[in-house]
Amino acid sequence: MNDGGPVLALSGGVGGAKLAVGLLHVLPRNALVIVANTGDDFEHLGLHVSPDLDTLLYALSGRDDQERGWGRRDETWHFMAALEEVGGETWFSLGDRDLATHVERTRLLAKGETLSGVTAHFVARFGVAASILPMSDTPVRTRLRTPAGWMDFQPWFVGQRAEPPVLEIRFDGAERAALPALVPALLENPDLRAVVICPSNPLISIDPILAVKGMRAALERCNAPVIAVSPLIGGRAIKGPTAKMLRDLDVEPSARAITAHYAGLIDGIVVDRADAAEVENLHDIAAAAVSTLMLTLDDRRRVATAALMLADRVAMERA
Amino acid sequence: MNDGGPVLALSGGVGGAKLAVGLLHVLPRNALVIVANTGDDFEHLGLHVSPDLDTLLYALSGRDDQERGWGRRDETWHFMAALEEVGGETWFSLGDRDLATHVERTRLLAKGETLSGVTAHFVARFGVAASILPMSDTPVRTRLRTPAGWMDFQPWFVGQRAEPPVLEIRFDGAERAALPALVPALLENPDLRAVVICPSNPLISIDPILAVKGMRAALERCNAPVIAVSPLIGGRAIKGPTAKMLRDLDVEPSARAITAHYAGLIDGIVVDRADAAEVENLHDIAAAAVSTLMLTLDDRRRVATAALMLADRVAMERA
């Protein structure tokens, strides 16, 4: 197994971060570079909140609350209780420790630091042996058209628990977004071992990354194998609205639908054993089936290894 | 004892708030109007922090930590610990609950609300049966000249524990500050029972209020008795740098010096029993001596009552 080159992973929040943790543990130190969705970022209480970047930071540094599934472990909520007391906006929960990340990010951005620079600073402070990059240093904002009209992401996702059906999705600012320079450079690097699309929601976690100006073209030119890991198991998402959103868009949620969604971009797909039959005899796309439920660190390592082995197989067959 | 009319109190933080609590408890509901020093306000971590307004809010609503002497009771410090972890600025302590006040104030100010409006909102939310007004709706910033040059207030007071000698003090913005309209209206109100200058540091807590455009003139025109309570006991301050600052400015700290400081403005002074001799036979200024150490609520009520009785005596002698 080739284990020399860097690996680029595209990730959203919770689901993607599980695979990212697996990759971190099976790859050499600092071989992993993660590009995170920032389409969910928003200004809240005057603070710049980057939910997916933070989920990755907390997960990769072992600071995540695995039981609750989001935020920091050993978190407390005294700020929120006091905010409620003064009549503040409490629909989006910010833990006392988590809040420090947003306050310091906002302060550094206001000083003129880039989001990439701030994130690299946090990665160093948290002792993460990987790179985490925002997909853009300029704002991209995911917006959703519902029967009630266009909505911003967080009011839909958190404020309305992702319940309003989504008829259309757009990524405001993506066409003029600034992909961090490291990303196209890495995609042109002949030593790049693989690009892994993490099992995040394709519509609202991966598509925003792909929409960033220059990203899709750079991925298409890239010589390294591009491998996606399906976020569905037997047509259902472990967490989050992926399956429901696909149905709202008249797409039957399945491993086949995920593969079709990434057609033209990926060289291989990893699906759950339950979905193995769906990816047999695919044209031009390699496939592997493994149990993709990631509850333990061993699970995460297993799925990460499966994605890397599939990439290595694709590369070997090409050579 | 006349107990019908409103009472206006001028106050800084901790020392002043103790008397304000006493006044709150001996006056009818909503008879007390407090004008607070905002010369100590500053922007920290992107937040608008108003230390004296918050000390008053917390003290008058029973949310203050009486043991520590500042901030909120049952406070936790998880935000600060996490901020230290990401390398943020930790020289100024912000508790998890206290932080909510600053975040919500900053959000409301950014929306265009005035500091008076924000403070009135907090007073209502906290159920305080008094009015609390900032001395100005525009920024006034206390600055201090030390041997090392001019310093902002908080870096001197908290950052350097008020240690650098103060050679000169100025209140940037005071001459164009906007005294809340209620203050001159109240000072012209014939029903006003008294103006009480709380036992705060005259140099850095009361002088900024007096420096606000129109404030001193309105006080001088006011018909109600103006009574100061000395912050010194036997030439020493209970808390804070009052005595040291006076000495640095070549003034011997004493009840007499406090009286001289307010000459032309006050009609009476309340001093500690230890200092009674200093205020005997004062020309044109009435005086009363009482134990001014305010550890318990009874202490606070006693000093408040002494100040109001002295005001009523002055008013009666005038009539």
Cα–Cα distance, A24 to B76 (Å, whole number): 34
Q: Pairing mode, if any, of strands A268-272 and A226-229?
A: parallel
- Of the candidates B91, B101, B97, the residue with the CA atom closest to the CA atom of residue B47: B101
* Partner-chain contact B100 A87, CB within 8 Å: no
Share of chain B above pLDDT 70, in %: 99
Q: How many contacts, defined by CB atoms under 8 Å, are there between A and B?
A: 106
The DSSP output letter for B140 is: -
Residue A250 near chain B (CB below 8 Å): no
Share of chain A above pLDDT 90, in %: 93
What residues of A are in contact with residue B47 (Cβ under 8 Å)? 46, 103
Task: Tell me what the mean pLDDT of segment A44-62 comes to.
Answer: 96
Report how many domains make up chain A. 1
* Partner-chain contact A110 B81, CB within 8 Å: no
Reply yes or no on whether the pLDDT at A3 is more than 90.
no
Note whether residue B2 is domain-resident. no
Task: Tell me what the mean pLDDT of segment B240-250 comes to.
Answer: 92
Note whether residue A314 is domain-resident. yes
What residues of A are in contact with residue B85 (Cβ under 8 Å)? 100, 125-126
* Partner-chain contact B101 A82, CB within 8 Å: yes
What residues of A are in contact with residue B44 (Cβ under 8 Å)? none
Q: How far is A138 from chain B (nearest CA, A)?
A: 20
Looking from the CA of A35 toward its CB, the CA atoms found within 13 Å total: 30
Least CB–CB distance from A103: residue in B45, B75, B85: B45
In terms of Cβ atoms closer than 10 Å to its own Cβ (0-12, 13-18, 19+), residue A281 is: exposed
What residues of B are in contact with residue A82 (Cβ under 8 Å)? 72, 96-101
* Cα nearest neighbour of A111 on chain B: B46
Residue B86 near chain A (CB below 8 Å): yes
Q: How confident is the model at residue A69 (pLDDT cuts 50, 70, 90)?
A: confident
* Cα nearest neighbour of B102 on chain A: A83
* Cα nearest neighbour of A123 on chain B: B86
Name the H helices within B61-194: 78-85, 96-110, 115-125, 153-154, 182-188
Least CB–CB distance from B86: residue in A78, A83, A104: A104
Reply yes or no on whether the pLDDT at B114 is more than 90.
yes
* Partner-chain contact A103 B46, CB within 8 Å: yes
Reply yes or no on whether the pLDDT at B238 is more than 90.
no
> What 3-state class would DSSP assign to B213?
coil
**What pLDDT is stored for residue B3 in this prediction?**
59
Its sign, for the CA torsion B294, B300, B303, B304, is: positive
* Partner-chain contact B87 A125, CB within 8 Å: yes
Share of chain B above pLDDT 90, in %: 93
**What pLDDT is stored for residue B143 in this prediction?**
98
The predicted-structure confidence for B60-108, as pLDDT tens digits, reads as follows 999 999 888 889 999 999 999 999 999 999 999 999 999 999 999 999 9
Cα–Cα distance, B287 to B309 (Å, whole number): 11
pTM of the shown model: 0.91
Note whether residue B227 is domain-resident. yes
Residue B45 near chain A (CB below 8 Å): yes
What residues of A are in contact with residue B87 (Cβ under 8 Å)? 104, 121, 125
A104 contacts: CB under 8 Å, gap ≥ 6: A118, B45, B83, B86, B87, B88
Q: How far is B156 from chain A (nearest CA, A)?
A: 22
- Cβ proximity of B19 and B57 under 8 Å: no
Q: Retrieve residue B22's tokens.
A: 């006493």
Helix (H), strand (E) at residue B302? helix B297-318
Note whether residue B167 is domain-resident. no
Note whether residue B146 is domain-resident. no
Reply yes or no on whether the pLDDT at B22 is more than 60.
yes
Residue A111 near chain B (CB below 8 Å): no
Residue A92 near chain B (CB below 8 Å): no
Phi, psi angle pair for A286, to nearest 5°: -75, 155
Note whether residue B127 is domain-resident. yes
Reply yes or no on whether the pLDDT at A84 is more than 80.
yes
ipTM of the complex: 0.89
Residue A112 near chain B (CB below 8 Å): no
In terms of Cβ atoms closer than 10 Å to its own Cβ (0-12, 13-18, 19+), residue A129 is: middle
* Partner-chain contact A86 B97, CB within 8 Å: no
Q: How confident is the model at residue A2 (pLDDT cuts 50, 70, 90)?
A: low
Cα–Cα distance, B107 to B24 (Å, whole number): 29
The DSSP output letter for B64 is: B
The predicted-structure confidence for A242-298, as pLDDT tens digits, reads as follows 999 999 999 999 999 999 999 999 999 999 999 999 999 888 899 999 999 999 999
Task: Tell me what the mean pLDDT of segment A110-118 comes to.
Answer: 96
CATH of the domain at B274: 3.40.50.10680
Tell me the average pLDDT of chain B.
95
Note whether residue B55 is domain-resident. yes
- Beta-ladder partners of B237: B232
Note whether residue B223 is domain-resident. yes
> How many residues comprise chain B?
319
Cα–Cα distance, B239 to B273 (Å, whole number): 18
* Partner-chain contact A100 B88, CB within 8 Å: yes
Residue A221 near chain B (CB below 8 Å): no
Range of the domain at B283: 7-64+98-141+179-318
- Of the candidates B172, B84, B99, the residue with the CA atom closest to the CA atom of residue B136: B172
Tell me the average pLDDT of chain A.
95
Per the listing, tokens 């995911």 go with A142
**What pLDDT is stored for residue B173 in this prediction?**
97
Task: Tell me what the mean pLDDT of segment A174-200 comes to.
Answer: 96
Q: Which of B65, B72, B96, B102 to mutate to test the interface with A (most CBs of A within 10 A)?
A: B96
- CB atoms under 10 Å from CB of A235, counted, come to 17
